[in-house]
């Protein structure tokens, strides 16, 4: 998979993408990340990429042309148009299911907005989907783009050591993850649940499932209700 990020702050993105699991996967060639400075595609001698909004209002709006030129410059040699995402608080809220869906794409092009947003005309022309990481507003699209890139990349082959690393996590199955424990066996007077020490895999699996059910019902009743609905649909 290849993920391209069009941004005003490529160094900020590179810093994150070169660290930890993503950085190792990138060096090993398991996934490609490319960060592009939108200012490099500005026709303005001062590399300006924004202007005042038509109709008045506070702040500045990113111009369509530099973003479009960046998109064409990056993707002109691609065999087909990459799936293009604009990170926006107006978009659909990002979920684990959406991350899984996007992980099946060959190429993803992410646009990071800034200021008061992006000229709607370039969104209409090249964007396939607007995505939000939550119902709040940030100063720019870089952090949301990195969240999306991380969540999607970790489900691509070879990025994690095995598929089980994400298949048993919170949200993947529709439930929150069961509690995890490690050494020492007793800490501050609290002991690891006895069943986890037995080595009986079937019983451990049952215990973890029951814990996931309990935690989801307590912490995310909305998620549990959806899980129950989906389970009942599967049984029909």
Neighbours of 202 (CB within 10 A): 7
Mean pLDDT for 136-142 is 94
- Written as six digits, the tokens of 209 are 């499932």
Quick one: average pLDDT of 167-184?
78
The reported pTM is 0.86
Which domains are delineated in the chain? 2-153 (3.40.1280.10), 168-235 (1.10.1270.20)
Query: What was the pLDDT predicted at 169?
Result: 52
Output DSSP code: residue 110: E
Rounded Cα–Cα distance for residues 195 and 168 (Å): 18
| The two structure tokens encoding residue 119 | 């000229």
Beta strands in 8-155 (DSSP E): 32-37, 50-51, 61-62, 83-93, 107-112, 129-132
Instruction: Give the pair of three-digit tokens for residue 145.
Output: 């783009």
171 pLDDT above the threshold of 80 = no
**pLDDT, tens digit, 9 for 90 and up, residues 87-104:** 999 999 999 999 999 999
Query: CA–CA separation, 30 vs 154, rounded Å?
Result: 10
- For the segment 5-30, the average pLDDT, to the nearest whole number, is 97
């Amino acid at each position: 998979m290849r993920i391209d990020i069009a941004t005003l702050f490529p160094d900020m993105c590179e810093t994150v993408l070169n660290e930890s699991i993503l950085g190792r996967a990138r060096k090993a060639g398991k996934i490609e990340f490319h960060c592009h400075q939108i200012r490099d595609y500005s026709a303005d001698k001062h590399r300006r990429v924004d202007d005042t909004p038509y109709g008045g209002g506070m702040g500045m709006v990113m111009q369509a042309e530099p973003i479009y030129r960046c998109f064409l410059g990056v993707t002109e040699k691609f065999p087909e148009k990459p799936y293009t995402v604009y990170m926006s608080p107006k978009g659909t809220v990002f979920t684990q299911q959406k991350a899984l869906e996007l992980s099946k794409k060959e190429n993803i092009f992410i646009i990071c907005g800034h200021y008061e947003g992006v000229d709607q005309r370039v969104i209409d022309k090249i964007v396939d989907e607007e995505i939000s990481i939550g119902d709040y507003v940030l100063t720019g699209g870089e952090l949301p783009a990195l969240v999306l890139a991380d969540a999607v990349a970790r489900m691509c082959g070879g990025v994690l050591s095995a598929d089980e690393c994400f298949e048993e996590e919170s949200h993947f199955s529709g439930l929150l993850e069961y509690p995890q424990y490690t050494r020492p066996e007793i800490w501050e007077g609290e002991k690891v649940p006895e069943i986890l020490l037995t080595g009986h895999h079937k019983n451990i699996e049952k215990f973890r499932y029951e814990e996931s059910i309990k935690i989801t019902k307590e912490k995310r009743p909305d998620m549990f209700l959806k899980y129950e609905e989906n389970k009942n649909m599967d049984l029909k």
